Structure 1
């Protein structure tokens, strides 16, 4: 039995704090007016947690509420944090998607992309997911959205998948979900999309800006190497073996020596501001014992090709590292007016025609400098 009773509470006149025992306290403001407080210890700290007013919560209910709070604290649950979570109003997928779109569209320079981003979700995701709370959406529900278009419209399906993931990841960051988007299960629940040719699996360039945003959410030597590879359109081995002595800091040029190039000729790479920024960020990993820009676990050893591929696997992106060169080439062909020869030099491809190769005396450096700046702008302005 506690120290208080319903009859005693009615007889109380003087304002003050009256203990019922076990941490339950009535904070009386006047006859019949006051509120209940329970005092608990959590993580070594004393906390007073309000339970409700005297006129809305009787003694029996106050004791029950106090008992539940004490039980949570003993179980290692923070009662205040739990209460805050319970007060959060979880949005539906449709409301969350519109919020994400509103937050990000200002950063999207391409008006067509702004419209397409939400339109694809309205067409394919809202009919099945729109009314569901984001906290309740799991892999099977996403799979059911994608299954009808996964083989019929593979590129559209990949975009819908990425955008659903973006909405759920945003919801996780806002505290509306207990976990990030459950994309891993989808790879087992959907059939393999057939390749149209024998080329390396490449990411559509329209998906690249969103991928780079995800890549930048964490910082590591491997992720920075992958970002640098994408921004320079270089081969994996060229990036993994890159050395600080090859970088002309003043001119922002990366000179790859002939012995490290597939064609056996020195290759100059103009560094966009974004690519140069990667070098600034990776400089904090620089070792006094190695000249490697992207060292592996052992400073004098470069990253392995599998390490870069592992990043893509962890992010559940079904492409190859080499495929990003195809992504760049497709962008050049479809989104720019640069001649094919300029893009081919940027990729350090050899000229099959020996006569043409003998007469070419330029590496189109100034044109490539402009092209790589535009490529970087596209990568980060079209999310």
Structure 2
């Protein structure tokens, strides 16, 4: 170790580092070369902090001035370390603690960097953090598509900390009256991204995309802009005739649509159905929670007609398809396309209908043509009861009652289409 009061020289610094002479080597005026091993060392300044005290006496502090490197390539030379120490001493003479000053600068730089985060980068971080918990793997793709189409052209390259209500209005106004459903979804997604930014201290202040008490004063309510468009549904009184025609259609997609109608299930639930979910003997289809919209397992009683639809597929599957898709797609290991059943409707010249609309047909039939309780029908549709008190008491899944309901529905779908009989023999040619 160098003697206290001695000044270091550049060659000495190189030698101490090369030999790995561990210890503190003073350069005078409280500047030290701290060697921690061969080729490893750093510069350190000790000083008395007047702003910090214990029992009225200033505290001694140690401030690192960077890695020591005789060449100055990957650290600081002796001369550079002395210059950095002198800068710290100037601050001390001005009553400023150099360590606290350095921390303030680092904090300011960090905040400036965070404030400079762009909306699209924050949005991508939000989606990446959320998509693992989203039930539908297409959800993340829908988020990205919506933001890329409507938001990024305006807000994408803006600093997230600078976005104001007028900026959000600029995104929403062009589509608020023409595409109200889309616009409402866009607004909610912008709000979620900005909430995420605030939670990470990347922006401060009220969320400019919030509706209540904010955009509600600037934009017309969605309900006033356009009527809600429901999925086109077949009147329940026409179901029997439709089913008779559907059963004349060949192909897996037609059988999938028939099964969907008989079970009142959703498209994704049907095309994603696997044989491990089907109990043919017990006449029950158990859809796992991760494939249900509500995130809860759903047992669906299978009527004899629904089992009849499945029977040929069950007989045709091989051992390799033991847990394959019930309604396999065109390619091995893939399910039907979610457009396949819509194509069946187009072939039937019923492009006026939607696949999802058959759930409405079932709901209307149950409410208008039967005495089955409303809660049984809602459970059959896997709907969450809106009345929280009612839902709290209705903890079972009403399976036996739903089995009776689904049998009645299947029997209704089997009825012969109504025919019109002329009142007089010659009425048809009159």
TM-score class, shorter-chain normalisation, is 0.3 to 0.5
TM-score (norm. length: structure 1) = 0.47
Bigger RCO (CA 8 Å, 6+ sep): 1
Report the structure number with the largest CA radius of gyration. Answer: 2
